[in-house]
Amino acid sequence: MSKTAKVISLILVLAFGYSCEKDQLPGDGLYSDREEGPKPYYLPIPAGFPEYDLDEDHLLTEEGVELGRYLFYDPILSKNQNVSCASCHKQEYAFSDPDQFSLGTHGGLTGFHSMPLFNIGWMDQFFWDGRAPTREDQALKPVVNPVEMGMTWPEAIERLENHEFYPEMFKAAFGTAEIDSNMVADALVQFEMTIISSNSKFDRVRRGEAEFSPLEQRGEALFNSNTGADCWHCHMTANVQLSDNSFHNNGLDAEGEFDMGLYAVTGNELDKGKFKTPSLRNLAFTAPYMHDGRIETLDDVIEFYSTGVHSYPGVDPFMELAENGGVNLSQPDREALKAFLLTLTDSSLLTNEKLSNPF
């Protein structure tokens, strides 16, 4: 290949991504610079976002991302071949599920509402109860969950190895057609890493490309005020997910009536009723809300935090006004807060063809 052709090829590769992303290569750990084998997958880091945290064992390649995309949408990994990852994480709903609970392969319902799946490069604990400490573990668990996909890994691997095209795809991605569960998880995570939400009005304002309306500006001030809506303790805007990636008991239920949450994983009495802080991005698409999907609308979420919070010793100390039922926002302040929260909407995520069903 000529030097000119190489330059053109590199430019085309770098052009992938959202128009808002930096025109630069990501940092170390994102891609392989090997000259043979799978091709490096260059994933530009959005402006204002920190670098991803990837190690040398989980580099992004074109073949790995494409394989993961196929596996994400293929029901082959479920017992009855009727549900896939995409069944619970639908692109048109910002990779979440509009139903309160998701339908599993045998017709049962999941125990939690489906969390939206984007920007996992900036997450280090997964699921509402924190039962997956890594991205790969997050990809492995649904396959063997008896309610969700209901498979054993030997069954899943046998299907993939006897499939008409998956052995060749695995060979292209990993250099061997001898498939194992770690390869499946690696490929799924490679695709999931490309599901990035970074082009909301909030992002554009941060980049100096747009301005908040007076109402949205008022909502942002309430969001970040200890005496206003006081959202920032758990949903700090400095974090790209607007989540502290931690676990809290937010007073959703009265004392002793709540689900166990993180306690089911840790066995620590202090973790009872704690659930992971969800991302606030794309709230316009990810209803219903809370770990069990009990709250149907964004207005109702604001109402809960304003007047519906339960108070008892186990409630998170950040819920400073729990003894008063919440932050008691006025109706004008509720409208302002909602306006700000809706600036976190990134509609481009719903129509990005690179993230869509390849079949």
Contact 349, 282 (CB under 8 A): yes
What does the pLDDT read at residue 22? 36
3-state secondary structure of 261: strand
If one compares 33 and 290, the residue with the highest pLDDT of the two is 290
What does the pLDDT read at residue 35? 56
* Residues written for the chain: 359
Residues 6+ apart with CB under 8 A from 117: 89, 95, 96, 192, 195
Read off the tokens for 328: 């008691």
* 201-260 residue pLDDT tens: 999 999 999 999 999 999 999 999 998 999 999 999 888 999 999 999 999 999 889 899
What does the pLDDT read at residue 300? 98
pLDDT of residue 17 exceeding 70, the answer is no
Residues 6+ apart with CB under 8 A from 57: none
The fraction of the chain above a pLDDT of 90, given in percent, is 77
Mean pLDDT, the chain, whole residue set:
89
| Domain at 201-342: CATH architecture | Orthogonal Bundle (1.10)
Residues 6+ apart with CB under 8 A from 119: 195, 196, 197, 198, 240, 241, 279, 281
Indicate the pTM of the whole model.
Answer: 0.88
Going by C-alpha positions, the residue among 78, 178, 79 that lies closest to residue 87 is 78
Going by C-alpha positions, the residue among 200, 88, 187 that lies closest to residue 145 is 88
Residue 196 one-letter amino acid: I
Domains 63-188+350-355 and 201-342 share a fold: yes
Domain ranges of the chain: 63-188+350-355, 201-342
Q: Identify the band that residue 266 occupies on the pLDDT scale cut at 50, 70 and 90.
A: very high
Q: Ranked by mean pLDDT, which of 7-11, 50-54, 178-182 comes out on top?
A: 178-182
Contact 204, 332 (CB under 8 A): no
pLDDT of residue 13 exceeding 50, the answer is no
pLDDT of residue 14 exceeding 60, the answer is no
Residue written as tokens 């619970």?
88
Q: Does domain 63-188+350-355 match CATH 1.10.760.10?
A: yes
What does the pLDDT read at residue 52? 79
Q: Identify the band that residue 29 occupies on the pLDDT scale cut at 50, 70 and 90.
A: very low
> What is the average pLDDT across 265-289?
96
What does the pLDDT read at residue 313? 86
pLDDT of residue 307 exceeding 50, the answer is yes
If one compares 134 and 35, the residue with the highest pLDDT of the two is 134
Contact 347, 227 (CB under 8 A): no
The fraction of the chain above a pLDDT of 70, given in percent, is 90
Q: Identify the band that residue 319 occupies on the pLDDT scale cut at 50, 70 and 90.
A: confident
Q: Identify the band that residue 71 occupies on the pLDDT scale cut at 50, 70 and 90.
A: very high
